[in-house]
Amino acid sequence: MKQFIDYIAFLEEKKVVGNGNPKLDAIVFDSRKVNATSLFVAMKGTVTDGHKFIPAVFESGCRAVVCQELPEAIPDDAMVVQVRDSHEALAKLAAFHFDFPSDKMKVVGVTGTNGKTTVATLLYRLALELGYKVGLCSTVANFINDVKLDASHTTPDAVTLQGLMRQMVDEGCEYCFMEVSSHALDQKRVAGINYRGGIYTNLTHDHLDYHKTFDAYLKAKKTFFDNMDKEAFALVNCDDKNGMVMLQNCKASHSTFSLREMADFRGRIIESLFEGMQLEFNGKEMWTPFIGRFNASNLLAVYGAARLLGWDEQEVLRSLSSLKSVDGRFETIRSKTGVTGVVDYAHTPDALINVLEALNQIRKPENELITVVGAGGDRDATKRPIMAAEAVKSSSRVILTSDNPRSENPETIIEQMMEGVLFSDRIKVICITNRKEAIKTACTLAKKGDVILVAGKGHETYQEVKGVRSHFDDREIIREYFEQL
């Protein structure tokens, strides 16, 4: 076991108070989980302040504390270290605790409002296909080679993340692909990671409840590229208006991808069908079962990263063609009667615009597109009316329903969505609070050839209403009602 003094040796801007130097076996940031061999890091959060619990931590026998503000009383046998930024210190201490796993494999992070799970998962699957040992950290699940582990966050807290990476290294992983959320960047969850590469997909409206302004959201994303060192690559989507902004002052080597203009990785859609797309990347053609321009962009990002990692181009193109859709992203289910159900994780205005555009391009004009959509509670409320407006603009009919209302009143969320719908368009809209009933109604209304889009929850297998989670899976419900048609 290492001693406290070893842990803090490499922290910058620290002030040490007290003479204790306990042996430690865990880093903890929740006072309810400490014991005599824990190092407690006190952090200011969005709900409360970890510093308030330092006296309780001492009560529990813990003698090693890292904090931004010193407590009034410090036991004689304790040591307290004051740092400028506890979040950053936690990330660095966690990296030290697990012996810097990100130095021992090639870690590639994916950031952006939409497309992170898709790009990171496809890179992971491609690596497996090419015979590499590889880990994945994503919204849907974490993977160490083919072993699946549950994920509670898109990017977990620094201690969980470094622990997960340690396991990846122990299992021989050469690569780790991970999503890097804006919350994680703001809370410095990834500050202890040495990246081999970073990918930027796009930046559109989301999470303004947390970041308050779009500019603050953009700045959080940019810190990912600002902190990358010169051995790494930064691969950005230059079709997105902030793509080049990410590269400003970025020391990593710069690469771009685009479906519109000249770029290091240039893509083009040759043909788009319900079954998939024929694509051209840097002059070479390939077929993919994926649908939608946004997925052509995601695949191009995967192709670019694979090339920057030095993987063989022929093998990459061949393997890319055989990759299947990602859990809950544009998953299609067909009924015996010729109705197509599409379950997609679109939970932002831009994602919804993209998915609807893709569906409208491939459906026959005489067939209807019925969209079932809600918006999450305790999350950015400003996106609600915009999502409803976009759904109505691009669908034949819309059923507004609940997503995960969490602690909020579901009816209020639907009313706020409805505010985005023009009075003259309201005839197209039905409001059904119960999501299962909403999906059932869509199935009942659909005729042969029609498409039902059920958006927002994708891979999720629960619904959270009034703080209680119950089993809920859009795909299961569609299948159940399709059976009855």
Ligand X SMILES: Nc1ncnc2c1ncn2[C@@H]1O[C@H](COP(=O)(O)OP(=O)(O)OP(=O)(O)O)[C@@H](O)[C@H]1O
Ligand Y SMILES: N[C@H](CCC[C@H](N)C(=O)O)C(=O)O
- Determine, following the binding rule CB under 6 A, whether residue 403 of this chain makes contact with ligand Y: yes
Query: Which residue's CB atom is positioned nearest to ligand Y?
Result: 376
Residue position matching structure tokens 């079962």 = 289
Buried/exposed 148-158: b ≥16 CB within 10 Å, e otherwise: eeebeebbbbb
Task: Count how many residues are written for the chain.
Answer: 485
From residue 148, how far is each of 142, 392, 397 by CA, in Å? 6, 38, 38
Measured distance CA(397)–CA(173) in Å, rounded: 47
Range 316-345, binding Mg ion (CB under 5 A): none
Tell me which of 197, 341, 349, 458 binds ligand X, using CB under 6 A: 458
Task: Please provide residue 464's backbone torsions phi and psi, each rounded to the nearest 5 degrees.
Answer: -105, 110
- Determine, following the binding rule CB under 6 A, whether residue 384 of this chain makes contact with ligand Y: no
Query: Shortest gap between Cβ of 44 and ligand X (angstroms)?
Result: 24
- Determine, following the binding rule CB under 6 A, whether residue 35 of this chain makes contact with ligand UAG: no
**Of 82 and 297, which CB lies nearer to Mg ion in the complex structure?**
297
- Determine, following the binding rule CB under 6 A, whether residue 354 of this chain makes contact with ligand X: yes
Coil, strand or helix at 199: strand
Q: Tokens in use for 134?
A: 């590889």
Q: Are strands 79-83 and 64-67 parallel, antiparallel or unpaired?
A: parallel
**What DSSP assignment string belongs to 45-110?**
-SS-BGGGGHHHHHHTT--EEEESS--S---TT-EEEEES-HHHHHHHHHHHHTT-GGGSSEEEEE
Tell me the sheet residues that pair with 370.
397, 452
Only segment of 25-33, 237-245, 325-333, 452-460 that touches ligand Y (CB under 6 A): 452-460
Query: Which residue's CB atom is positioned nearest to ligand UAG?
Result: 45
| Coarse DSSP helix, strand, coil percentages of the chain, rounded to the nearest 5 percent | 35, 25, 40
Instruction: Report CA torsion sign: 116, 121, 127, 133.
Output: positive
292: left (phi over 0), alpha (psi -120 to 50) or beta: left
**Of 68 and 348, which CB lies nearer to ligand X in the complex structure?**
348
Q: Are strands 233-237 and 134-137 parallel, antiparallel or unpaired?
A: unpaired
Range 104-163, binding ligand X (CB under 6 A): 112, 114-118, 139, 154
Query: Shortest gap between Cβ of 139 and ligand UAG (angstroms)?
Result: 5
- Determine, following the binding rule CB under 6 A, whether residue 1 of this chain makes contact with ligand UAG: no
- Determine, following the binding rule CB under 6 A, whether residue 159 of this chain makes contact with ligand UAG: no
CA 83 and chain centroid, separation: 29
Tell me which of 347, 383, 397, 435 binds ligand Y, using CB under 6 A: 347
Which residues line the annotated binding site? Answer: 31, 112-118, 154-155, 181, 187, 189, 379, 403-406, 456, 460
Interaction partner, residue 153 (ligand UAG, Mg ion, ligand Y, none; CB < 5-8 Å by kind): ligand UAG
Tell me which of 5, 30, 130, 219 binds ligand UAG, using CB under 6 A: 30
H-state helical runs in 309-434: 313-321, 349-362, 383-394, 410-418
Tell me which of 96, 281, 294, 311 binds ligand X, using CB under 6 A: 294
Query: Shortest gap between Cβ of 110 and ligand UAG (angstroms)?
Result: 11
Only segment of 90-98, 249-257, 339-347, 473-481 that touches ligand X (CB under 6 A): 339-347
Measured distance CA(38)–CA(58) in Å, rounded: 11
**Of 143 and 281, which CB lies nearer to ligand UAG in the complex structure?**
143
Only segment of 154-162, 224-232, 259-267, 368-376 that touches ligand UAG (CB under 6 A): 154-162
Task: Please provide residue 54's backbone torsions phi and psi, each rounded to the nearest 5 degrees.
Answer: -60, -45
Nearest-10 Cα torsion for 262, 267, 269, 273: -160
Tell me which of 457, 459, 474, 482 binds ligand Y, using CB under 6 A: 457
- Determine, following the binding rule CB under 5 A, whether residue 139 of this chain makes contact with Mg ion: yes
Q: Tokens in use for 277?
A: 């797309």
Under the rule (CB under 6 A), what is the footprint of ligand X? 112, 114-118, 139, 154, 179, 201-202, 294, 297-298, 329, 344-346, 350-351, 354-355, 458
Under the rule (CB under 6 A), what is the footprint of ligand Y? 154, 347, 376, 379, 403-404, 456-457, 460
Under the rule (CB under 6 A), what is the footprint of ligand UAG? 29-32, 43, 45-48, 50, 53, 139, 153-155, 157, 181, 183-184
